Structure 1
Amino acid sequence: MFEHALPDWSRINLTGLAAYINGYAFKPEDWSEHGLPIVRIAQITGSSADCDYYQGRLSEDFKIDNGDIIFSWSGTLCVVQWNGGPAWLNQHLFKVKPEDGVSHRLLYHVLSHAVAEMDKSAHGSTMKHIKRGELKRYQILFPDCRKEQEKIGRVLDTLDTQIQQTEALIAKLKKVKEGLLHDLLTRGIDENGQLRPSPEQAPELYKESPLGMIPREWDVETLKDLSSNGMVNGVFKEVSRAGIGTPLVNVADLYRGDEINLEGCERFDANGVEADKYDALPGDVFFTRSSLKLEGVAHCNWLKNADKPAVFECHIIRVRPSSKVDPRFLVAWCRSSNARLHFMGSAKQVTMTTISQDGVGSLPCPVPGIDEQKRASERILSFERWVAEEKLQLNKLSNQKQALMDDLLTGHVRVTPLLDQAQTQAQATTPA
């Protein structure tokens, strides 16, 4: 890749671009409830907001402030720009100080890109770390001109802003979806597509039920009663018959997307009796029978389309919804917090967490009229499409940044026209 570099670019290693200062090795007796916060990996990754404090004095090398580049080189490998105000840096984190003539803006992107590449071959299968020697061996092409560095950094900053805005929108949509699901599954939707008033607003529209207050038109039935032909465990998957035959729905297939896609399933040579008893048809809802974690038991998904015969494996329970219930509505309910609490309470934990047909089938389910269920399902589907479109946009932006990193950091692509293009895209996609 280096042959495409411009004449005013140099090959340099990461230690030539910056100094890497390891954080201070704080001891428990150093911790306090006052002073500046001690920043650990959990704080820079956002996995925890809780922190200890230190009120003593240390070298300024261990102090960080907004805008500083922090490199987590052990355990979780990542690079962030700190925005939490003045703090002390804990060990296993580098404070990265650009050398003279090196753009802070571009260094952040270069180091992020390099660490992502090094992460693939980092030492330790469970506890990864990057040694200083690897930073010295990792060479890149870097523009000599500070102005050129800043221009490249601005292009990548623009893309980062778009990525962050899209991530924030997806997170917001997920929260809105949770609220929408709760309302659709407890209040329902009328013929005009409007949510019913809440029980507090219109108590006369509701009645008491095993699920609490529900609309008067609704019923409550168990999941078993809503299954048209009982509940069935799948076929035992003999290894000798795997790889050919009809599509076989596995537990992993229940976690791929909001519906099961037979194109991604493995194959199983089911005989005629098995094909009839363990058939998977459009509209069927499937539940996991076991999981390593309690939270994973009775995870469900449904089969929307099937243009060919298919079967399902023995670690799955099949529910074939009756005409009383729309499968999309049923899946939405079975994924709700109330249903999850029921399933986890019905599970048994030994070496694996398992749930029986009775544990799944005893779930009480709200049963609006079928037309109302379909209206609610369409509202949910419309929202899911919106989230899916934003996820596609996020993936597109991430791929675009990766490609730009590869091109811009060789000098193969000039930055000025890309800067204009990126700024135009940012203006077009910034929410009003």
Structure 2
Amino acid sequence: MKVIEGWSEKKLSELAEYINGYSFKPDDWGEDGLPIIRIEQLKNPNELIDYSSGKIPQKNIIENGDLIFSWSASLFLRIWQHGRAALNQHLFKVIEKEGVDRVFLKLFIEFYLPELTKASHGSTMQHITRKELDRFRAPFPISKFEQTKIAEILSKVDQAIEQTEALIAKKQRIKTGLMQDLLTRGIDEHGNLRSEETHEFKDSPLGRIPVEWEVKPCAALCREIVVGIVIRPAQYYRPEGIPVLRSANVRENTIFCDDLVFISKTDNEMLSKSRLREGDLVTVRTGYPGTTSVIPRELDGSNCVDLVISRPKNEVIRSNFLSIWVNSDNGKRQVLEGQGGLAQQHFNVGEMRTLLVKVPDISEQEKIERILILQSSVLEDLTRTLQKLFSLKTALMQDLLTGKTRVTALFNQTEVADV
């Protein structure tokens, strides 16, 4: 391995002390005292917590800012920020040695976890022991200042990731609430959500709905509902030609064109029953049954394998509105009903035909779909931003945590400023 100036190979055991949590017995649990932090609570501090009022060794007490390493079953690290607590077994409290930056150490161990697990027990390893910590070596920057600067850079990316994830969660909650309101109450002629206090509602097979709405089965809303190629589809596959969609290509209200297969133009014409047109709906039958999307213009004339194809009557139902409905809780609930609430493994043409839909008039459908598509677009943009941030973090970790790229210039600038 190439020697990096200012770096030295270190064992993980040389960088910190790893103190295992306390082995609590059921008799130690109670409703008062210190919260007991297990792997579940380390992952999510809002998980249910047991408490202990007994005598717990000081070494097993954790405080805000302590570095915790889950070394069994789930392998990950966290800096604890949720108050004084007692650490359960299968978790290490990591106390860094002199000259080691705590945040850098966390990032360093995280970066080398895949190599550490592979080198220790192979790809199926589920725990890390002290023996592995003493055996595994990797290049480590000697200067604590350099460690801290690297940690600062990566922490800024982590902060951006956390903020983006929180914003995605917030926007998803807003979208879910909007969808529930819009598909239950709709929008009146003034652009306001209806309510039973100000508008007329009526009973329906799907509960209370605005008096202007109807409830109809998909069969009454579509010209045709059929299934894609189901008999030995692979016999038609070719290296190039007409695109063929499969279940993996269909997500909620989105078509992914990764890993497409193809058939010849001749076979596509022969298999005309399953040939797709712009505005058709395709619905997954197995895997994630009920997942639905609309065929966009660029896939007009393509074909599909083992998907339910619904061809809406444009004068009564908009394609995007119907897709949004099938993917909503209202649609998913009906998909699950066939199995008594259990995850249904196979969604059939007959079930699509009988699936009930709340139907506003066309203009209201358009208003509803415009609002929800805008929300989806915002979420898609945020998701792309998050993916870019993860890619940036991966690249930075590869460069900075291996010494490939140094923060020497920044180090020198700081030295000059200090003089």
Instruction: Report the alpha carbon displacement of residue 262 of structure 1 after superposing the two structures with TM.
Output: 4.3
Partner of 2:25: 27
Partner of 2:278: 282
Equivalent position SS for 2:271: helix
Partner of 1:225: 220
Partner of 1:342: 334
CA distance in 1, matches of 2:106, 2:227: 55
Instruction: Report the alpha carbon displacement of residue 76 of structure 1 after superposing the two structures with TM.
Output: 1.3
Q: What letter corresponds to residue 359 of structure 1 in structure 2?
A: E
Q: TM-score, normalised by structure 2?
A: 0.87
CA distance in 1, matches of 2:45, 2:352: 33
Instruction: Report the alpha carbon displacement of residue 87 of structure 1 after superposing the two structures with TM.
Output: 1.9
Instruction: Report the alpha carbon displacement of residue 210 of structure 1 after superposing the two structures with TM.
Output: 2.5
CA distance in 2, matches of 1:388, 1:370: 26
CA distance in 1, matches of 2:169, 2:42: 19
Partner of 2:206: 211
Unaligned runs of 5+ in 1: 421-432
Q: What letter corresponds to residue 288 of structure 1 in structure 2?
A: V
Query: Is residue 346–residue 355 contact of structure 1 (8 Å, CA) maintained in 2?
Result: no
CA distance in 2, matches of 1:77, 1:408: 22
Greater CA drift, 318-327 or 298-307: 298-307
Equivalent position SS for 1:161: helix
Instruction: Report the alpha carbon displacement of residue 97 of structure 1 after superposing the two structures with TM.
Output: 0.9
Query: Is residue 79–residue 108 contact of structure 1 (8 Å, CA) maintained in 2?
Result: yes
Partner of 2:406: 413
Alignment of 1:142-181 (within 5 A): 142-181=140-179
Partner of 2:194: 197
CA displacement 1:307-346 (0-9 Å, x = unmatched): 46322223x2211111121121111111221222211112
Partner of 1:254: 250
Q: TM-score, normalised by structure 1?
A: 0.84
CA distance in 2, matches of 1:275, 1:122: 53
CA distance in 1, matches of 2:384, 2:395: 16
CA distance in 2, matches of 1:281, 1:44: 50
Query: Is residue 60–residue 87 contact of structure 2 (8 Å, CA) maintained in 1?
Result: yes
From the superposition, tell whether residues 305 and 191 of structure 1 become closer, same or farther in structure 2 (CA, over 3 Å): farther
Partner of 2:59: 61
CA displacement 1:184-226 (0-9 Å, x = unmatched): 212223566x3333223x133x333333332333222111211
Greater CA drift, 331-340 or 173-182: 331-340
Query: Is residue 298–residue 343 contact of structure 1 (8 Å, CA) maintained in 2?
Result: yes
Task: Compute the RMSD of aligned alpha carbons.
Answer: 3.0
Q: Which of 336, 343, 361 is the aligned partner of 1:369?
A: 361
Unaligned runs of 5+ in 2: 414-419
Greater CA drift, 169-178 or 119-128: 119-128
CA distance in 2, matches of 1:286, 1:132: 53
Q: What letter corresponds to residue 226 of structure 1 in structure 2?
A: L
Q: What letter corresponds to residue 128 of structure 1 in structure 2?
A: Q
Greater RCO (CA < 8 Å, at least 6 residues apart): 1
Equivalent position SS for 1:100: coil
1:389 is the counterpart of 2:386? no
Instruction: Report the alpha carbon displacement of residue 120 of structure 1 after superposing the two structures with TM.
Output: 6.6
From the superposition, tell whether residues 402 and 351 of structure 1 become closer, same or farther in structure 2 (CA, over 3 Å): closer
CA distance in 2, matches of 1:55, 1:162: 39
From the superposition, tell whether residues 18 and 105 of structure 1 become closer, same or farther in structure 2 (CA, over 3 Å): same
Partner of 2:416: none
Greater CA drift, 374-383 or 206-215: 206-215
Partner of 1:425: none
From the superposition, tell whether residues 309 and 402 of structure 1 become closer, same or farther in structure 2 (CA, over 3 Å): same
CA displacement 1:49-99 (0-9 Å, x = unmatched): 013222222322222122111111221111111122222222222111101
CA displacement 1:362-397 (0-9 Å, x = unmatched): 222111222222222222221111111111221222
From the superposition, tell whether residues 153 and 263 of structure 1 become closer, same or farther in structure 2 (CA, over 3 Å): closer
Q: What letter corresponds to residue 414 of structure 1 in structure 2?
A: V
CA distance in 2, matches of 1:161, 1:310: 43
CA distance in 1, matches of 2:349, 2:300: 27
1:319 is the counterpart of 2:310? yes
CA distance in 2, matches of 1:191, 1:118: 62
Q: What letter corresponds to residue 366 of structure 2 in structure 1?
A: K
CA distance in 1, matches of 2:302, 2:232: 13
1:77 is the counterpart of 2:75? yes
Q: What letter corresponds to residue 224 of structure 1 in structure 2?
A: A
Greater CA drift, 48-57 or 63-72: 48-57
Q: Which of 262, 286, 295 is the aligned partner of 1:267?
A: 262
Partner of 2:97: 99
Equivalent position SS for 1:79: strand
1:400 is the counterpart of 2:397? no
Instruction: Report the alpha carbon displacement of residue 177 of structure 1 after superposing the two structures with TM.
Output: 0.5
